[in-house]
Structure 1
């Protein structure tokens, strides 16, 4: 398979969505879909969500499957 020449970092996509939605919760599937449409793989999107939630703690999951920005 041919890799896209320019794909957005899924972490940037996720943080962009969560910072621009006025603090509303965003569903997991919507975050993954946004990353895929930005040229990322579903697996990369899932890894980015886990990393942002568990490692850098930039996002939180106040309700199962729904995410918000931690800031």
Structure 2
């Protein structure tokens, strides 16, 4: 199921993400850490509603400060 989420990816290099250009405005990122937590909003105060496991790919749709709006699977 494809859904849109807000996700903290500001520490991409620290978490060890690998990314490449998908299109001019989109990036595809592959999770290489054991997991990352998806929040319902752009802040750690928002609840975690989904955990993305290692190996899954996300598409970055938009960035605002250190937070990214992403989509799971293909756009």
Higher Cα radius of gyration = 1
TM-score, scaled to structure 1: 0.29
